[in-house]
């Protein structure tokens, strides 16, 4: 079932343009110049119920603008948008009752109070019966393992703990869709991994549709079967995440370890040596040549071989640079 | 069911106030300086005189304590500040994504803060009246007191509406500091919280009666010290009309300006 559908969705922003310096400021006071910037252009999108979709794009690509239009926070300039059958910017309570949005850098919690206080407020705002509230709260408190943190002031929580609480507050009313904008921003590897685990469970067990925006490709790769790449406000890729990374994964990094000092022969296969010691050789090779290189170097009788994919950051850089060419 | 969410918002803001104990103590002590200042000022003016413009020293001090009490109760400037700040930094969306009436949220927020301060200021006012042995002048008529209670509530609601409206203007004008400054100066003078308006020329008073601020602090204060009883009905009617008009203006403003919100910075 289609849960989100947009057609020709466009958002233009008007912004004040001012010359630098005092003279520029005075000129701006007398005569204002504005420029129009397209944040999202002619975007067609369909998302099915229960999907876990990643929104990828560099800063200023239009990801957050898209999320803001899908949640009704801002109105589109033109085009159509339907989320759960509603036009989001009508801001109907029945619509807002069915989704949640978590922005990593913004908080819905009251910093002076405890999480339990905020959750009680959300219980009333979403009109949850006491039993449903308690069972939902207990489920998430157990899942996120935050039993000891429910009665301490929010401002005393660490960033990772606070993000778990933000997620509990957002998920309490069992929304059909959850929009997550950089939920792991600033978190360490352990906390990020935990959050990823929780999100995967919520998507699988509760069937919640999740739209995830993140600069951390580990998040996208680990969670989202489908990815949408946006750049300069346009969709440049919409499809399988594995295929996306596979396509832009151009090299393999192969590490050979030897028991005795070993010299490498002249390498073919467009291979490039990254690191070399008498006992260890690290070589980068185009992925289609990896098998050939391996066959050749097996003759040197290595004691250990490791084949690694390229660093995710390098792949992402490539996606943004080359992504527009015939992918969409 | 609908009202329960606003009651919970109200409770949350009482709890928020309670979290800052130091603030509460300072507020209690600060109210002392105001009463000390008023005693000195009016004591000097009344030196050698029994009455000034129909006020005795006791009735003037009673007026001052009541009008200060009512002025301090009005927390609505926080509403415009919060809205303006959040629209400017792009976090107003915090309220837009919740299934609540945003104005209702802010009215409940103000009521929560008012209730907390009502208790604090009431206790401190009673203490200072007792400590300074002020002969407090107060209307004995319970029906009038009940009417004044409604007038005060309407006044607080009107101020919350006004500040909500001014906050919304950020959607169009981005910077509303000038509007807030005009409002604050107007309110400080026109509500009569500085001096009783009866000390001003008669025609000025008639002009003031056309505006809602006259009924927010000045009229309830005068009614509570047993004066202007004949104006209660008119006050209730005038302030109700202003509330209705302002609510219509808010509705139109929100419908027209909310589409201008671009949520920058998030």
Return the higher-pLDDT residue of B135 and B6: B6
Contacts of A96 in chain B (CB under 8 A): 97-99
Per-residue model confidence as pLDDT tens digits over B60-73 = 888 888 888 888 88
Would the pLDDT of B266 be above 50? no
The answer to whether the CB atoms of B100 and A125 lie below 8 A apart is: yes
Question: Is residue A154 a contact partner of residue A111, using CB atoms and an 8 Å limit?
Answer: yes
When scoring B17, B98, B257 by the number of chain A Cβ atoms within 10 A, the one with the most, hence best to mutate, is B98
Point out the residue among A68, A99, A120 whose CB comes nearest to the CB of B263. Answer: A68
Is A274 in a helix, a strand, or coil? strand
B233-238's contacts with Cβ under 8 Å and 24+ in sequence apart are B233/B147, B235/B151, B236/B147, B236/B150, B236/B151, B236/B154, B238/B209, B238/B212
Measuring CA to CA, how many Å separate B169 from each of A266, B75, B165, B180?
A: 72, 19, 7, 11
Question: Could you tell me which chain B residue has the CA closest to the CA of A181?
Answer: B266
Distances (CA, A) of A19 to A29, A33, A113, A149, A247: 11, 10, 45, 50, 43
Report the alpha-carbon distance of residue A300 to residue A276 in Å, rounded.
15
CA neighbours within 13 Å on the CB side: how many for B85? 6
- Asked if the C-beta of B47 comes within 8 angstroms of chain A's C-beta atoms, the answer is no
Q: Are A53 and A220 in contact (CB under 8 A)?
A: no
What number is the average pLDDT over the span B115-129? Answer: 83
pLDDT in tens, A115-152: 999 999 999 999 999 999 999 999 999 888 899 999 99
Shortest Cα distance, chain A CAs vs residue B160, angstroms: 21
Which of B99, B172, B261 is the best substitution to test chain A (most A C-beta atoms within 10 A)?
B99
> What percent of chain A is predicted at pLDDT more than 70?
97
Chain B residues with CB-CB distance to A118 below 8 A: 12
Show the tokens assigned to A67: 């999320």
Task: Band the pLDDT of A328: cuts 50, 70, 90.
Answer: very low
Q: Judge: B4–A124 Cβ closer than 8 Å, yes or no.
A: yes
Alpha helices in chain B (DSSP H): 2-18, 21-45, 57-73, 77-89, 93-96, 102-131, 142-168, 170-173, 177-190, 202-209, 218-224, 232-257
Is pLDDT of A26 > 60? yes
Give the nearest chain B residue to A13 (CA atoms): B262
DSSP, res A114: B
Sheet containing strand A78-83, edge to edge, reads A33-48, A2-17, A78-83
Domain boundaries in chain A?
50-246, 251-309
- What would the pLDDT profile of A57-116 be if each residue is shown by its tens digit? 888 888 989 999 999 999 999 999 999 999 999 999 999 999 999 986 678 888 888 999
Domain spanning A50-246, CATH architecture:
3-Layer(aba) Sandwich (3.40)
Enumerate residues 6+ apart whose C-beta is below 8 A from B98. A96, A125, B105
User: With 50 as the cut, is the pLDDT of residue B141 above it?
Assistant: yes
3 state DSSP class of A105: coil
Contact A124 B7 (CB under 8 A): yes
The whole-number average pLDDT for the span B23-33 is 74
Residue in B1, B98, B261 closest to A74 by CB: B261
pLDDT at A318: 82
In whole angstroms, what is the distance from residue B43 CA to residue A132 CA?
A: 63
Residue A327 pLDDT > 60, yes or no? no
Kindly report, residue by residue over B93-113, the tens digit of the pLDDT: 889 999 999 999 999 999 999
């Amino acid at each position: 079932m289609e849960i989100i559908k947009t057609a020709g969705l466009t958002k233009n922003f008007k912004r004040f343009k001012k010359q630098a310096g005092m003279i520029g400021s005075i000129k701006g006071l007398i005569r204002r110049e504005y420029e129009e910037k397209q944040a999202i252009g002619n975007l067609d999108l369909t998302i099915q119920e229960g999907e876990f979709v990643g929104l990828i794009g560099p800063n200023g690509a239009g990801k957050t603008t898209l999320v803001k239009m899908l949640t009704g926070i801002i109105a589109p300039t033109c085009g159509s948008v339907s989320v759960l059958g509603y036009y989001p910017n009508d801001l109907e309570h029945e619509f807002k009752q069915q989704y949640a949005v978590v922005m990593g850098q913004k908080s819905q919690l009251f910093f002076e109070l405890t999480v339990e206080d905020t959750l009680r407020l959300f219980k009333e705002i979403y009109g949850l019966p006491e039993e449903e509230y308690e069972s939902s709260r207990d489920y998430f408190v157990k899942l996120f393992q935050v039993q000891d943190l429910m009665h301490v002031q929010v401002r005393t929580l660490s960033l990772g703990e606070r993000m778990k609480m933000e997620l509990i507050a957002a998920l309490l009313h069992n929304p059909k869709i959850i929009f997550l904008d950089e939920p792991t921003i600033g978190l360490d590897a352990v906390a990020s991994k935990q959050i990823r685990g929780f999100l995967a469970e919520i998507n699988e067990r509760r069937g919640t549709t999740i739209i995830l925006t993140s600069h951390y490709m580990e998040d996208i790769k680990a969670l989202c079967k489908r990815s949408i790449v946006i750049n300069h406000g346009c969709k440049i890729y919409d499809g399988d995440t594995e295929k996306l990374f596979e396509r832009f994964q151009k090299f393999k990094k192969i590490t050979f370890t030897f028991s005795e000092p070993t010299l490498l022969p002249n390498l073919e296969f467009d291979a490039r040596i990254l690191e070399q010691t008498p006992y260890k050789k690290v070589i980068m090779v185009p992925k289609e040549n990896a098998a050939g290189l391996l066959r050749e170097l097996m003759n040197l009788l290595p004691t250990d071989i490791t084949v690694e994919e390229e660093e995710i950051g390098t792949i992402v850089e490539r996606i943004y640079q080359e992504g527009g060419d015939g992918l969409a | 069911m609908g009202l329960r969410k606003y009651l919970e918002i109200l409770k949350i803001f009482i709890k928020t106030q309670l979290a800052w104990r130091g603030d509460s103590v300072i507020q209690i002590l600060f109210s002392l300086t105001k009463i000390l200042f008023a005693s000195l000022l009016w004591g000097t003016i009344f030196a050698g005189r029994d009455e000034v413009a129909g006020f005795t020293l006791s009735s003037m001090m009673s007026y001052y304590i009541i009008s200060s009490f009512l002025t301090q109760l009005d927390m609505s400037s926080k509403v415009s500040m919060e809205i303006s700040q959040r629209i400017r930094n792009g976090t107003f969306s915090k309220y837009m994504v919740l299934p609540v009436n945003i104005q209702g949220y802010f009215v409940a927020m103000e009521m929560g803060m008012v209730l907390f301060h009502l208790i604090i200021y009431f206790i401190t006012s009673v203490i200072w009246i007792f400590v300074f042995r002020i002969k407090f002048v107060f209307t004995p008529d319970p029906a009038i007191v009940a009417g004044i209670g409604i007038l005060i509530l309407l006044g607080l609601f009107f101020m919350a509406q006004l500040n909500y409206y001014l906050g919304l203007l950020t959607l169009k004008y981005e910077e509303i500091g000038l509007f807030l400054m005009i409002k604050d100066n107007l309110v400080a003078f026109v509500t009569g919280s500085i001096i009783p308006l009866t000390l001003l020329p008669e025609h000025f008073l008639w002009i003031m009666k056309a505006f809602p601020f006259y009924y927010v602090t000045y009229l309830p204060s005068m009614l509570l010290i047993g004066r202007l009883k004949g104006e209660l009905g008119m006050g209730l009617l005038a302030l109700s009309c202003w509330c209705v008009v302002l609510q219509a203006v808010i509705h139109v403003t929100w419908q027209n300006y909310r589409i201008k919100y671009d949520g920058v910075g998030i």
